[in-house]
Chain A
Amino acid sequence: MSYFSNIYDGVKTLLTGMKVTGNYFLHSKKGAITQKYPENRDTLQMFERFRGEVVMPHDEQNEHSCTGCQKCEIACPNGSIEIIWDRVIDEKTGKKKKIIDKHIYHFGMCTQCGLCIDACPNDAIKWAQNFENSVYDRTQLTRVLNKPGSKVRAGVED
């Protein structure tokens, strides 16, 4: 008699499905998950987890926490990060010390995998939330993350 119970089960499960979607239909005005994008540009809030591009936060004294350890450069699968570094003599200790000259980030190559951010021991780089990234010239996507004249924040390297 599985023939008739099949029919019964079929109809019952289909009606259950229609109940679910019908419920969505009735509440679609309240809970639309899409937004009208260009109109809401001012109020738009991206999600915390969104991966826009890699940035290096600087504080008010123009200091960042990148020590130039190059772990991000090694972690990057396709070489989007390039660090040009230098050695200077630390004034206090008199020892040689590595500093970054330029932290270059090729955004055009980046796949947003986030391995560099996971690899960074000092949280010097993190994800920004911007997404309107189209430009006419590819070279505009190559960015120097450390601002001119910036230096390592004291205490990061200890």
Chain B
Amino acid sequence: MKIALFIHEWIVGLIPAEITGLTQMVLIALTYLTLFAVLGLYLVLLERRVAAWFQLRIGPNRVGYQGLLQTMADALKLLTKELTGTVKADKFLYNLAPYFVIITSLMALGIFPFTKNLQAYDLNIGLFFLIAISSIGVIGILLGGWSSNNKYSLIGAMRSGVQTISYELSIGLSLLTMVLLTGSLQLSEIVEVQKNGWLIVQGHIPAIIAFMIYMIAGTAETNRAPFDMVEAESELGAGFHTEYSGMKFAYFFLAEFINMFIIAAIATTVFFGGWLSPFGITESIPWLGVFWFLLKTFVLVFLMMWFRWTFPRLRVDQLLTLEWKYLLPINLANIVIMALIVWLGLTLQF
């Protein structure tokens, strides 16, 4: 990328060569951090506006033009709030938990190929890394619930934990179905494979089933409705993060929305061709890749919001039934079908 090269040369000219690598890493990390914190805030706003439209309301429209600064103002308010906690809480773990949750979300963002060149780090085990890193978030949830010294938080954390761990399986298996098709875990390579047609087209029936399972499990994984067992407003407060206030609460909240973006971004990369344009219409203009990537991702984010404002919340037994009785067996059968299709060469390629 030309901009990256330019910045690289500029930094090399500025400081001694030994620390340029480190400086660049820090700079990239800071850019990502800022960009995705702002993205998280605007996802919150999008969620609120979309929710309003689904419920025939107007939604936040006061702060800034059409309420565009609303969530900025909310974040500012949360920054100024007092950080409270319970008396006998395990202070170290209690303070650690929100960082676990937010850092894992931000780490996952580092390996997404937004375009061919715009990728912070091209890991050769990309998909595996994503699945692994997204399971660490659950430790933050359990830590938060455990260390709050509040039995309701603990129950909330257990509910949330059982849900996240259960649906982790479905996510892993549905992505594995697609790995059978690509033969690679590297995200950039997965996108390259899709130049002959997006994977959802290449893998047709099993790919569509895998996509549906992935979206259901992804919605559950991010603790969003209809799977937001943790957030029964009247019974549990907000589950595992009842005792958190101010910015620590905001980390949990922001992580949920960044996770939603991550789930949609993985789906975009694995099923819908990442930064590739449909039918290669803008292949001559590579920087439009960001536009296509974000467009596809936001369509999927919208789909998740649509789920949220349509479906009623599941009971905990229904939630586990759905995962262990329906999604998992279908998923296993689906992998076999996909393997057969790849083996017999029945994939669709253009």
Contacts and interface: CB of A to CB of B under 8 A. Distances in A.
B54 A34 contact: no
Interface range on chain A (Cβ under 8 Å from partner) = 10 to 19
A24 B57 CA distance: 10
Interface in A16-31: 17-18, 20-22, 24-25, 27-29, 31
A28 B52 contact: yes
Contacts of A21: 54, 306, 309-310
B58 interface: yes
A32 B306 contact: no
A32 B58 contact: yes
B326 interface: yes
B306 A7 contact: no
Contacts of B349: none
Contacts of A34: 56-58
A7 B306 CA distance: 20
A33 B309 contact: no
A14 B219 CA distance: 15
Interface string A21-64: 11011011101111110000000000000000000000000000
A28 B306 contact: no
**Which has the most chain B C-beta neighbours within 10 Å: A6, A22, A34?**
A34
Contacts of B61: 36
Contacts, number: 43
Interface in B270-313: 306-307, 309-311
B53 A25 contact: yes
Contacts of B55: 24
Contact of A17 (B50, B52, B310, B330): B310
**Which has the most chain A C-beta neighbours within 10 Å: B57, B61, B330?**
B57
B58 A36 contact: yes
Given A17-B311, A21-B310, A22-B306, A32 B54 contact: no
A18 B56 contact: no
A24 B53 contact: yes
B326 A32 contact: no
A22 B53 CA distance: 10
B306 A31 contact: no
**Which has the most chain A C-beta neighbours within 10 Å: B57, B307, B310, B326?**
B310
A27 B310 CA distance: 16
Given A7-B326, A18-B306, A36-B61, A25 B54 contact: yes
Given A7-B326, A18-B306, A36-B61, A24 B311 contact: no
A34 B54 CA distance: 13
A6 B330 CA distance: 13
Given A21-B306, A36-B61, A14 B56 contact: no
A33 B54 contact: no
Given A7-B326, A36-B61, A28 B56 contact: yes
A22 B306 CA distance: 8
22 contacts: A6-B326, A7-B326, A7-B330, A14-B310, A14-B311, A17-B311, A21-B306, A21-B309, A24-B54, A25-B50, A25-B53, A25-B54, A25-B306, A28-B54, A28-B56, A28-B57, A31-B56, A32-B57, A32-B58, A33-B57, A35-B58, A36-B61
Given A28-B52, A28-B57, 8 more contacts: A17-B310, A20-B310, A21-B309, A24-B53, A24-B55, A25-B50, A33-B56, A34-B58
Interface of A: 6-7, 14, 17-18, 20-22, 24-25, 27-29, 31-36
Q: Which 6 A-B pairs have the closest CB atoms?
A: A28-B53, A21-B310, A34-B57, A17-B310, A33-B56, A34-B58
